[in-house]
Amino acid sequence: MATATTHGAREHARAQAGTRAEAMPVVPATDLPAPPDAAGPLVWAETVAGGGYTHRVLARGTELRLTDPQGDACAHLVLFADGRPWERLNVADTMKVQWNAYLTAGRLLLSDQGRVLASLLTDTAGGRHDALCGTSARALNAARYGDGAPHSATPAGRELLKLAAAKNGLQPRDLPPSVSFFQGVTVGDDGTLAFTGSGGPGGSVTLRAEQDLIVLLANVPHPLDPRAEYRCTPLEMVAWAAAPTAPGDPLWDATPEGRRAFLNTAEALTSRGIR
């Protein structure tokens, strides 16, 4: 179909209706079947290519599932309280408050206000995640792969997160360190970090938004990945409507520190008329 004229370009564009690429959002998300354990209808469904990024605002209580179908995704995640971006993910507090450096089911993602941004409900990826290293930087990728620009073949995670942040009114200085899912790191007795890689294809994690959240995500190789090639496979995401964690839920009382973080969150929400 000729696209040399405006009319031809319009007809060509309209002819693409219904065409699907491997990596793109599904709109509406309800066109996909919800997972069997989903409490409500899907509100977000998207596949993020390796070297790609995405962003979304999720309502409190929404559950978000990330899946690594091919075994080489690496989801670098940053969270902000929607409308209050100065309250954001704090990986240092996430680790020290919970006395644990490793992410898996039952852990909480905390802000520096001592509140819960999201809880980690399920983990079938064998705990192959990382809260220590953050994402890749442009200089690192340029040294390793020859380029780290956001629109290159080997984009750095921070460059992609800056694009996602800008689309939510945020600046590079607003970006805190991220957490990474599906590529693990362990700490040795001498403090050295060891890259443990992926737990294999098909692993997933499910997060629950405990406040209204801005979600930023880049799917790029982990900065400690030792492979010479830029290797990152697609990431699948689905989110559905649900309810936030409440008193009586086992997660609420799993640890004294977690209970205090949930109480801090509930108090802050209640003072703003949110129950």
pTM, two decimal places: 0.94
In a domain, 29, yes or no: no
In whole angstroms, what is the distance from residue 33 CA to residue 149 CA? 36
Question: How high does pLDDT run on average in the chain?
Answer: 95
Going by pLDDT thresholds of 50, 70 and 90, the confidence category of residue 83 is very high
Going by pLDDT thresholds of 50, 70 and 90, the confidence category of residue 102 is very high
In a domain, 177, yes or no: yes
In a domain, 15, yes or no: no
Q: Which helix (H) or strand (E) holds 77?
A: strand 75-81
Is the pLDDT assigned to residue 275 strictly greater than 90? Answer: no
Instruction: Note whether 170 and 191 are within 8 A (CB).
Output: no
Instruction: Note whether 253 and 259 are within 8 A (CB).
Output: yes
Query: Which residue range forms the structural domain that includes residue 95?
Result: 42-271
DSSP-derived 3-state class of residue 86 = strand
In a domain, 12, yes or no: no
In a domain, 214, yes or no: yes
In a domain, 31, yes or no: no
Number of domains, the chain: 1
Q: Which single residue is written with the structure tokens 């559905």?
A: 240
In a domain, 200, yes or no: yes
In a domain, 131, yes or no: yes
